[in-house]
């Protein structure tokens, strides 16, 4: 039995529910503190563990933090074994990450059960040593940044990729889902056509950095989508609410929350969410459409 499974309170079911509420309240507080930070100050791995803790209340995050420290120490040791550790090129940096994360720690993309919810929960990814591209990417980014290396997630559609930059300014793109392999232009083009369609071609926007906040939103979007696929609308709404905490200015999140509230029959809350969308969205057809929805819902409430 995992530590998460052991994280249940003893005593009456009512007492257990109270504990879960208290623990989740602490997770909300932690997430709000993370959201209040500047983007550069956000510790991606720590934030992903906080998000994972909503599904596994009362689990000790220190177990997973210790694993992350072990991962960083292993990367440090692997660098020290190189002949010229201070002058490693980007391919060598990528090789170190692959050697440690894929080789020593045996992390890999979950191709067999790709849609499993556990693949987007960093606690379970650490326990199972497999996950989605973005979840594994967070581990690669954590390991790289622990060494002071320049590493960023990319705005590549449908498949999370990472760019590493060496001290001399040279760069490589690696795929955390496939053992940290370096992706040349032809491989990127092939991948793009698989995930986005045969008509798609590489363009400069695909190489653009994404923020730490956007990476966490991307991680949680996987949780939300999988829960919707399972018909778990209320749980999907929970994931969306966590996304709103991280990025409250994103109008689309408020609009989607309103739609989910409507599906759950919570019309008053739907109105509140749609009003949040109206306060953040630019003028246009979508905003006018939602204004009509709000008016209709108010009439149904009275």
Provide the H-helix boundaries in the chain.
Answer: 13-35, 44-53, 62-80, 90-97, 122-128, 133-146, 185-196, 212-229, 233-246, 251-263, 267-280, 285-301
- The token duo for 260 is 């989910």
Q: Are residues 132 and 254 in the same domain?
A: no
Q: Are residues 181 and 261 in the same domain?
A: no
CATH number at residue 283: 1.25.40.10
Residue where a domain stops, chosen among 165, 186, 211: 211
pLDDT reported for residue 239: 96
d(C-alpha 91, C-alpha 88), whole Å: 8
The domain in which residue 71 lies consists of 13-211
Residue where a domain stops, chosen among 181, 211, 241: 211
Spell out the per-residue pLDDT of the chain, length 302, in tens: 344 434 333 333 333 434 344 457 889 999 999 999 999 999 999 999 999 999 988 789 999 999 999 999 999 999 999 988 889 999 999 999 999 999 999 999 999 999 999 999 999 999 999 999 999 999 999 999 999 999 999 999 999 999 999 999 999 999 999 999 999 999 999 999 999 999 999 999 999 999 999 999 999 999 999 999 999 999 999 999 999 999 999 999 999 999 999 999 999 999 999 999 999 999 999 999 999 999 999 999 98
Q: Are residues 294 and 195 in the same domain?
A: no
Q: Are residues 145 and 91 in the same domain?
A: yes
Assess if residue 172 is contained within a domain.
yes
Q: Are residues 221 and 206 in the same domain?
A: no
pLDDT reported for residue 13: 38
Residue where a domain stops, chosen among 174, 195, 211: 211
Neighbours of 136 (CB within 10 A): 29
The answer to whether the pTM exceeds 0.95 is no
pLDDT reported for residue 58: 76
d(C-alpha 156, C-alpha 192), whole Å: 8
pLDDT reported for residue 23: 54
Assess if residue 3 is contained within a domain.
no
Q: Are residues 241 and 182 in the same domain?
A: no
Q: Give the total number of structural domains in the chain.
A: 2
Neighbours of 230 (CB within 10 A): 12
pLDDT reported for residue 56: 87
pLDDT reported for residue 85: 86
Helices 44-53, 62-80: inter-axial angle, 10-degree rounding: 150
- Output Rg (C-alpha) for the chain, integer angstroms: 21
Assess if residue 284 is contained within a domain.
yes
């Amino acid at each position: 039995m995992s530590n998460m499974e052991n994280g249940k309170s003893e005593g009456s079911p009512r007492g257990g529910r109270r504990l879960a509420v208290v623990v989740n309240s602490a997770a909300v507080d932690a997430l709000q503190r993370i959201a209040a930070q500047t983007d550069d100050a956000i510790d991606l791995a720590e934030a992903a563990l906080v998000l994972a803790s909503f599904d596994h209340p009362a689990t000790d995050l220190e177990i997973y933090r210790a694993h992350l420290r072990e991962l960083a120490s292993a990367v440090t040791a692997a660098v020290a074994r190189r002949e010229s550790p201070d002058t490693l090129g980007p391919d060598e940096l990528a090789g170190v990450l692959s050697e440690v994360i894929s080789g020593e720690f045996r992390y890999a993309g979950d191709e067999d059960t790709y849609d499993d919810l556990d693949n987007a929960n960093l606690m379970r990814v650490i326990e199972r040593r497999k996950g989605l591209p973005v979840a594994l990417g967070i581990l690669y980014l954590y390991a790289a940044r622990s060494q002071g290396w320049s590493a960023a997630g990319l705005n590549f559609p449908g498949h999370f990729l990472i760019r590493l930059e060496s001290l001399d300014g040279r760069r490589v793109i690696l795929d955390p889902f496939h053992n940290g392999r370096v992706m040349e232009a032809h491989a990127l083009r092939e991948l793009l056509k698989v995930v986005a369609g045969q008509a798609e071609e590489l363009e400069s926007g695909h190489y653009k950095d994404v923020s730490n906040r956007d990476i966490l939103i991307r991680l949680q979007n996987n949780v939300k989508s999988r829960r919707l696929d399972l018909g778990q609308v209320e749980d999907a709404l929970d994931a969306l609410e966590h996304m709103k905490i991280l990025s409250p200015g994103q109008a689309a999140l408020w609009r989607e929350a309103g739609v989910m509230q409507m599906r759950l029959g919570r019309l008053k809350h739907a109105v509140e969410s749609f009003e949040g969308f109206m306060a953040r969205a630019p003028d246009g057809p979508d905003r006018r459409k939602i204004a009509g929805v709000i008016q209709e819902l108010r009439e149904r409430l009275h």
